[in-house]
């Protein structure tokens, strides 16, 4: 660690950041040098990603990195959200903007796919949680629509793979992002031909799969000229943002679970092999790829999306309130007035989130939240109780005893939710680091360039470099009683 520097691009479904990192004096130092908006654009009734604007923002980040003094840049890595993809034609031409995963064209698509191949058959091969926006169903929808784009496509590239193509000219797919597609065999780690055959999907467009830490190539000369960077190595980190976040969990031993907390809450354990059985299928758990051939056995939970949706609705009404004020109001609200299942389909993309919560409460014969504080408390308590439900299910499906819950990502700054998570699960909660995704991205790059020796060393570096907060369970019995009363709603 001689002052080596790396550039991480971390793109989420709402924003992207360019993070410049330095490894010096046994510490990892981060500097956010560029932040940019990312939101889907409504085009002809569909939600699509403006990927060229995003790439232009990434080039701005590269130019800003080039203007910073210090040791040479050793690598660039990109991580993004999962499942969405672009289609690439001859000569690496982008064939239209990628659809966004919340696009309504996917409503009702899963039963149509199951008429060709059953849920049981798909899960037995992929071990992936069923969500209507998974890549398998997005590609199936295009095939059913007889999209002309499929006729001229030569490659399907997931979002980080697309940006890697733009930077290097190389078309491949990194393992962790490929694993989210529900098109890859969980154990063999290759595209599953039977899925493509039965669903009548074009397997020839699927790219070769590479491991996290693969050096993909040098930055293309035109980008070098435009940004002022040298011919830097572009490295595939764990390109799925959750895989990068898990790589940065500052955990020791094996008896821990993780929660990547943000728009989505992704909760699970790190396993050496896929956990695929009838119980994991029935409980909709997923087996996604991680660093060092590990498996992220987890469940996707709607997360702070519900709170973000409420806040957007209030802003439209002119009731702009900061998150700190909302959390403060939630602390004062009555406990357990109403509990929702964050994963109910009505919360996926409602026109108005508070109205969706009200309708859910009416339908389940619960009191209706009336103030902003009551809505926020409902969301946070519901998330914490869902975390408890997931921890219990993980305990039923494997033998490892969970003693600690590590919460990373932007949501780890929400002390009230962290405390609720400790209360509900009965586990010690360690919160931080906030920038786990970018940190994990950088750790994998540093291992690839031999600036770090292992993932264990990287996690020790995280523990030394960033502040962590610990939350011990309080009022666990009261939370336990509520959980037992409403757990049937949390499936």
For the chain, the structural domain boundaries read: 2-236, 249-432+453-491
Report the alpha-carbon distance of residue 68 to residue 239 in Å, rounded.
Answer: 25
**Residues making up the chain, counted from first to last:** 491
Exposure letters 401-436 (e unless 16+ CB within 10 A, then b): ebebbbbbbbbbbbebbbbbbbbbbebebbbbbbbb
Sign of the Cα pseudo-torsion (316, 413, 252, 76, in order): positive
Q: What is the band of 2 on the pLDDT scale with cuts at 50, 70, 90?
A: low
- Residue 344's closest CA among 313, 383, 375? 383
Residue 464 above 80 pLDDT? yes
Q: Are 384 and 421 spatial neighbours (Cβ–Cβ below 8 Å)? A: yes
- For the chain, the average pLDDT equals 96
7: number of Cβ within 10 Å = 29
User: Residue range 14-27: average pLDDT?
Assistant: 92
Q: Do the strands 15-24 and 27-37 form a parallel or antiparallel pair, or are they unpaired? A: antiparallel
pLDDT digits (tens, 9 = 90+) for 149-186: 999 999 999 999 999 999 999 999 999 999 999 999 99
> Which one from 233, 241, 343, 344 is the annotated catalytic residue?
241
183 near 206, Cβ under 8 Å? yes
Same fold, 2-236 and 249-432+453-491: yes
Q: Any idea which architecture 2-236 has in CATH?
A: 2-Layer Sandwich (3.30)
pLDDT at residue 1 tops 70: no
The arrangement of secondary structure in 249-432+453-491, i.e. its CATH architecture, is 2-Layer Sandwich (3.30)
13 falls in which pLDDT band (50, 70, 90)? confident
| CA 375/CA 339 separation, integer angstroms | 10
pLDDT in the model for residue 299: 95
Residue 34 has pLDDT above 80, yes or no: yes
3-state secondary structure of 60: helix
Inter-residue contact 458 to 446 (CB < 8 Å): yes
Tell me whether residue 241 is one of the annotated catalytic residues.
Answer: yes
pLDDT band at 400; cut points 50, 70, 90: confident
pTM, two decimals, is 0.92
Structure tokens at 432: 């931080």
pLDDT tens-digit series, residues 297-346: 999 999 999 999 999 999 999 988 888 999 999 999 999 999 999 999 99
Question: What is the mean pLDDT of the segment spanning 349-364?
Answer: 97
HEC secondary structure over 12-39: CCCEEEEEEEEEECCEEEEEEEEEEECC
Question: Is there a cis peptide before residue 430, judged by omega within 30 degrees of 0?
Answer: no
Q: How confident is the model at residue 120 (pLDDT cuts 50, 70, 90)?
A: very high
Among the listed ranges 1-5, 260-264, 355-359, which one has the minimum average pLDDT value? 1-5
pLDDT digits (tens, 9 = 90+) for 94-105: 999 999 998 999
Over residues 403-445, the pLDDT tens digits come to 999 999 999 999 999 999 999 999 999 999 999 999 999 999 9
Q: So what's the pLDDT on residue 301? A: 94
């Amino acid at each position: 660690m001689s002052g080596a520097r790396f550039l991480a691009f971390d793109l989420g479904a709402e924003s992207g950041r360019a993070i410049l990192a330095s490894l010096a004096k046994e510490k990892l130092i981060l500097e956010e040098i560029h932040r940019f908006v990312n939101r889907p654009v409504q085009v002809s009734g569909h939600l699509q990603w403006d990927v060229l604007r995003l790439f232009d923002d990434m080039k701005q980040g590269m130019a800003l990195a080039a203007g910073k003094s210090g040791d040479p840049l050793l690598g660039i890595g990109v991580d993004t959200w999962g499942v969405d993809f672009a289609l690439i034609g001859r000569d690496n031409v982008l064939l239209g903007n990628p659809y966004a995963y919340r696009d309504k064209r996917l409503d009702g698509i899963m039963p149509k796919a199951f008429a060709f191949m059953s849920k049981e058959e798909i899960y037995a091969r992929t071990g992936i949680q069923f969500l209507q926006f998974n890549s398998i169903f997005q590609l199936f929808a295009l095939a059913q629509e007889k999209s002309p784009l499929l006729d001229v496509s030569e490659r399907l590239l997931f979002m980080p793979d697309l940006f890697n193509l733009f930077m290097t000219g190389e078309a491949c797919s990194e393992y962790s992002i490929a694993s989210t597609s529900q098109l890859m065999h969980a154990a063999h780690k290759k595209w599953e031909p039977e899925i493509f055959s039965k669903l009548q999907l074009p397997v020839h467009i699927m790219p070769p799969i590479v491991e996290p830490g693969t050096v993909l190539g040098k930055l293309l000369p035109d980008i070098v000229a435009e940004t002022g960077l040298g011919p830097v190595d572009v490295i595939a980190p764990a390109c799925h943002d959750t895989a990068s976040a898990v790589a940065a969990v500052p955990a020791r031993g094996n008896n821990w679970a993780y929660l990547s907390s943000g728009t989505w809450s992704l909760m699970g354990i790190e396993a050496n092999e896929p956990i695929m059985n009838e119980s994991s299928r029935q409980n909709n758990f997923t087996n996604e790829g991680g660093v060092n051939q590990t498996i992220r056995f987890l469940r996707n939970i709607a997360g702070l999306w519900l709170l973000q949706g409420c806040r957007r609705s209030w802003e439209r009404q002119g009731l702009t309130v900061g998150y700190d004020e909302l959390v403060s109001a939630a602390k004062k609200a009555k406990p357990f007035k109403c509990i929702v299942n964050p994963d109910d389909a009505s919360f996926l993309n409602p026109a108005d989130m508070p109205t969706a919560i009200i309708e859910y409460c009416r339908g389940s014969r619960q009191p209706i939240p009336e103030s902003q504080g009551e809505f926020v408390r409902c969301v946070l308590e519901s998330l914490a109780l869902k975390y408890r439900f997931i921890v219990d299910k993980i305990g039923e499906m494997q033998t490892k005893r969970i003693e600690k819950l590590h919460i990373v990502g932007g949501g780890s700054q929400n002390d009230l939710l962290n405390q609720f998570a400790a209360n509900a699960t009965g586990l010690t909660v360690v919160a931080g680091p906030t920038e786990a995704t970018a940190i994990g991205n950088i750790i994998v790059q540093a291992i690839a360039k031999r600036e770090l020796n292992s993932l264990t060393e990287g996690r020790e570096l995280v523990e030394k470099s960033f502040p962590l907060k610990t939350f011990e369970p309080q009022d666990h019995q009261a939370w336990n009683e509520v959980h037992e009363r409403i757990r049937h709603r949390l499936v």
